[in-house]
Amino acid sequence: MKDKVVLITGGTSGIGKALAFSFGGAGAKVAFSGRNPQGLALTSQELSAAGVDNLAIQADVSVEEQCAQMVQQAVTKYGRLDVLINNAGISMRALFEEVDLEVIRKVMDINFWGTVYSTKYALPHILERKGSIIGISSIAGYRGLPARTGYSASKFAMHGFLETLRTELLHKGVHVMVACPGFTASNIRNTALAANGQQQGESPREEGDMMSAEEVAARILRATIQRKRDLVMTFQGKLTVFLNKWLPGLTDKLVYNVMAKEKDSPLRK
């Protein structure tokens, strides 16, 4: 990663921020985006204090024009782009029969279209460098999770998009990886949208029992250097993918029971 240029969407908190420090600590120049100017300024200050050459870019990845400008700002400053990490994301928790459809549209706009827009404008530069395109996904992209229809749909769509792109680029030297952290201690559950579109404000899961964002970032860094195709990080995640493929009926019941145990779960037996 020495002197390579990395662009990370959603880089001001959680996994995105940890990725900025991880790749920056490995010698990369880090451009990162976010919507909150205060979060961008604070993260930039922290990265600079750690000796990381960085560029903070205010951008909403659900807006195509802002994604184009985001890529252009990174390339203008550093003259190249080696790695794009599509990390920006939002979750939701509500039964489909109760959810406002605007919630699903918003989740798809950020998680799926944000990946499409960012990748579209970054691709010419990644092709030139024979670099990497990374999607930060979820086990929800392999196995639909109840009360998370919009989130699961967005991650399934991301998987299909990146798998197709990887195949198109098979002989062009570009590395495409889908990384699935499993449950990670971050703010994504606190900011997850409820049925009415409001943030739920409190994680329904025990965050202390999860992988740290820093551990997730370190694994993604290693996998990027090794140019891995897929990265499923937890035993629970690997087991879920395996069972869903070979015993889907049983997996329906197991997944339902696990998700029903969440605090204030909307699932009802």
Confidence of residue 189 (pLDDT cuts 50, 70, 90): low
- Any alpha helices (H) in the chain, and if so which ranges? 14-25, 37-49, 64-78, 101-108, 114-129, 149-168, 213-225, 235-246, 248-260
Best CA proximity match to 117, nearest among 177, 180, 161: 161
Residue 122 has pLDDT above 90, yes or no: yes
Residue 144 has pLDDT above 70, yes or no: yes
In angstroms, the CA 207 to CA 211 distance is 8
In angstroms, the CA 149 to CA 184 distance is 19
What's this model's pTM, rounded to 2 decimal places?
0.93
In angstroms, the CA 230 to CA 232 distance is 7
Catalytic residue among 78, 121, 151, 256: 151
Q: Is 117 a catalytic residue?
A: no
Average pLDDT value over all residues in the chain: 93
Tell me the per-residue pLDDT of 222-239, one tens digit each, with 9 for 90 and over: 999 999 999 999 898 999
The more confidently predicted of residues 13 and 183 is 13
Q: What pLDDT, on the 0 to 100 scale, is given for residue 188? A: 61
Domains annotated on the chain, with CATH: 5-235 (3.40.50.720)
**Long-range contacts for 235-239 (Cβ within 8 Å, ≥24 apart)?**
236/139, 236/182, 236/183, 237/139, 237/180, 237/182
Cα distances from 134 to residues 82, 113, 166, 180, 234, in angstroms, run 11, 15, 11, 11, 18
Tell me the per-residue pLDDT of 64-77, one tens digit each, with 9 for 90 and over: 999 999 999 999 99
Is the distance from CB of 132 to CB of 224 less than 8 angstroms? yes
Tell me the per-residue pLDDT of 201-218, one tens digit each, with 9 for 90 and over: 665 555 556 789 999 999
Tell me the per-residue pLDDT of 14-56, one tens digit each, with 9 for 90 and over: 999 999 999 999 999 999 999 999 999 999 999 999 999 999 9
Crossing angle, helix 14-25 and helix 37-49, to 10 degrees? Answer: 30
- pLDDT mean over 128-153: 96
Residue 246 has pLDDT above 60, yes or no: yes
- Any alpha helices (H) in 109-211, and if so which ranges? 114-129, 149-168
The three-point CA angle 250-252-253 to 5° equals 70
